[in-house]
Amino acid sequence: MAAKTAAKKTETAEPMRCTCSQFATEDGRTTGCMAETKRLFAPGHDAKLKSALIRWGAEGVEVTRTMGSIASSADAATHAAKFAFGHMVKAGIKRVEDKAAAKAERQAKREQERKESLTRHAAKRTRQMAKKNAAEQAAQEVKAKVGRWERTGTVKNGQFTYTDAKGATKTTTKFTLIG
């Protein structure tokens, strides 16, 4: 008998705007709800409001609820506490904040590892350049016999490079090193 009475109450109630349409952020974002219902929420719109409150709470924006001509501003968790899903919004906001903190920590760790890698790479490159310069300096000034003339030059990859009597730079593979 109570069920019949409840059914009659909902039939006689006038359709009104869904509750989730009453919420907006300070920068004008809303749930986008235009539904009318005889209940507190249109089907599925409680979840719609819950996800919007979690998102806005994680962003830290001020949320305003406007009922008729009365507007009240608070954070998302405070507004959500008035509904049965309030604890879920609070937990969701904490989960998003924890996830963002973990992401920032991972990013900082990757950045630190990248800096260390660059430092190691730069040190390795410096050592390689020092070896190369030492090898070039050691091989830089040698004496070799080219034809019947003694010349001073460098040997690299089996080629002797020298400057002839006229000042021209020449390269040859036919030479004999003089000790």
- Span 145-161, pLDDT tens digits: 998 999 988 888 889 99
* End-of-domain residue from the set 56, 72, 90: 90
Q: Is 34 part of a structural domain of the chain?
A: yes
Which of 23, 103, 100, 18 has its CA nearest to residue 56? 23
- End-to-end CA, the chain: 119
Average pLDDT score, the chain:
86
User: Which long-range contacts does 12-21 make (Cβ < 8 Å, 24+ apart)?
Assistant: 13/38, 14/38, 18/42, 18/45, 19/45, 19/49, 20/45, 20/46, 20/48, 20/49, 20/52
Q: Is 133 part of a structural domain of the chain?
A: no
Q: Is 24 part of a structural domain of the chain?
A: yes
Q: How far apart are CA 52 and CA 43, in angstroms?
A: 16
| pLDDT (mean) for 54-82 | 89
Q: Band of the pLDDT at 16, cuts 50, 70, 90?
A: confident
- The answer to whether residues 86 and 13 belong to one domain is yes
What is the model's pLDDT at position 171?
93
Q: Band of the pLDDT at 54, cuts 50, 70, 90?
A: very high
Q: Band of the pLDDT at 122, cuts 50, 70, 90?
A: confident
- The answer to whether residues 18 and 86 belong to one domain is yes
Q: Which residue is associated with the tokens 């001509």?
A: 69
Give the domain extent around 174. 139-178
Is the per-residue pLDDT at 58 higher than 70?
A: yes
Q: Band of the pLDDT at 7, cuts 50, 70, 90?
A: low
Is the per-residue pLDDT at 172 higher than 90?
A: yes
* End-of-domain residue from the set 90, 121, 151: 90
Q: Is 75 part of a structural domain of the chain?
A: yes
* End-of-domain residue from the set 29, 56, 90: 90
Q: Is 112 part of a structural domain of the chain?
A: no
Q: Is 149 part of a structural domain of the chain?
A: yes
pTM to 2 decimal places: 0.58
Q: Is 39 part of a structural domain of the chain?
A: yes
Q: Higher model confidence: residue 4 or residue 78?
A: 78
Q: Is 98 part of a structural domain of the chain?
A: no
The lowest-confidence range among 58-72, 101-115, 138-152, 164-178 is: 138-152
Number of structural domains, the chain? 2
Q: How far apart are CA 140 and CA 160, in angstroms?
A: 10
- The answer to whether residues 143 and 86 belong to one domain is no
